Structure 1
Amino acid sequence: MKRTYDARMASRPEAACYLRVSSIDGRQTVENQRADVARLAEARGFAPVFYEEQGSAKKKRPVLDRLMEDARTGRVRAVVVVALDRLDRDMRECINRIAKLDGYGCRVLSVRESWVEDAGQTRGLLVGIFGWMAEMERANLIARTKAGLARARREGKQLGRPRALLPVEVKKLRALIAGGMSQRKAAEVVGCKESTARLALKRGAA
């Protein structure tokens, strides 16, 4: 967790900017959220303090737990997220967390759901609806990911990192190339990608 903010804002109350990305898509990064949440915090008169969590689809979220404790003790006066589902993908847990923050007197600010600041009596209902929508979106993403992996397996595509060649395979690869066969063709005979063959030969020469 990083607690850094502009010295010019030292006199302002702190807002916990919670940055979290799912482990479903390894291409995501908290940097995609940082500027937006900081801008919102500053616009509401707070000094942004960043709480960063990576790959936290699991139940244990130590950084979020620390944030909730800081909100309870009054160390931070607001919690800022890019979307409410960053607090929790589970609708009930998300609602519970927001209710706790309300009880602590800690404001909840969301870049995407600006209505959370002043929705009045309908706020709880809207939080529930948007939480349910986030759950459905996540379920659909998981289903699409699993379907894509299953299709790739059926088509015989290799998933994950390329397998390392066994010493006997590297020996065969060298023999084929020494006999005049191209590296690409030799890789096909051994049953690997040309890039895997190239790496194996390079390692063997090192």
Structure 2
Amino acid sequence: MNIGYARVSTAEQNLTLQTDALEAAGCERVFVETASGAQRDRPELERALDFMRPGDTLVVWKLDRLARSMRQLIDTVELLHSKGMGFLSMTEAIDTTTAGGMLVFHIFGALAQFERAIIRERTRAGLDAARARGRKGGRRPKLSQSDIRDARALLRDPEVSVAEVAKRLNVSPATLYRHLPGGRAGAV
């Protein structure tokens, strides 16, 4: 049995193109959803996967309707495969129920893995080069040593609250507490 899954990101988008194509492809049941592809929690996709039985095929109009990232796509198709189910993307003509479709899908997976490895290598090389030039990564501290000295001096006065000091330094009380472990007691 072919089971369709159609998704749009916003309520303003129209599902008609996808649902018409899925019905024309012989999908006996179509699950529709309005959700961002980046969301992991997609209830209608879960319902479609729960509804499916071994031998069924999940059909989507286009790959990006099923997953936002290559990793998410590969994970979903591998889950289907482990349950004896197929996957068909109409636009890209990828059908994992055929040997050729599985080959194309595995090539996609290998390319995605290669891309992740290259990105990791570039990131590591960039961080190493920056470190060699004396640069440290991360965000600059919100408060300078001078600000911390001022905050300690202000907090010695019991009439001045932590919130007032934070406001004066243009930071949140949580930021002030992070820089002054122990809060008012750490200021003394």
TM-score (norm 1): 0.46
Runs of 4+ in structure 1 displaced over 2 angstroms?
55-59, 115-123, 126-130
1:119 corresponds to 2:104: no
- What residue ranges of structure 2 are gaps of 5+ in the alignment? 115-188
State the 1:36 CA deviation.
1.0
Partner in structure 1 of residue 5 of structure 2: 18
Aligned to 2:47, which of 33, 57, 66?
Answer: 66
Q: What do the CA deviations read for 1:100-127 (whole angstroms, capped 9, x no partner)?
A: 1111111211111113343343421235
- What residue ranges of structure 1 are gaps of 5+ in the alignment? 1-13, 133-206
Instruction: Work out the CA distance in 2 between the residues paired with 1:75 and 1:115.
Output: 19
Instruction: Mark the CA change 1:50 to 1:122 in structure 2 (over 3 Å): closer, same or farther.
Output: closer
Instruction: Work out the CA distance in 1 between the residues paired with 2:23 and 2:44.
Output: 18
Instruction: Work out the CA distance in 1 between the residues paired with 2:110 and 2:35.
Output: 24
State the 1:87 CA deviation.
1.4
What RMSD, in angstroms, separates the aligned Cα atoms of the two structures? 2.9
State the 1:129 CA deviation.
5.2
Larger CA Rg, structure 1 vs 2: 2
Instruction: Mark the CA change 1:113 to 1:59 in structure 2 (over 3 Å): closer, same or farther.
Output: same
Instruction: Work out the CA distance in 2 between the residues paired with 1:128 and 1:108.
Output: 18
Secondary structure of the residue aligned to 2:41 is coil
User: What is the aligned residue count?
Assistant: 111
The one-letter code sitting in structure 1 at the alignment partner of 2:75 is: N
Secondary structure of the residue aligned to 1:49 is strand
Partner in structure 2 of residue 52 of structure 1: 32
Is this contact kept in 2: 1:83–1:111, CA < 8 A?
yes
Partner in structure 2 of residue 30 of structure 1: 15
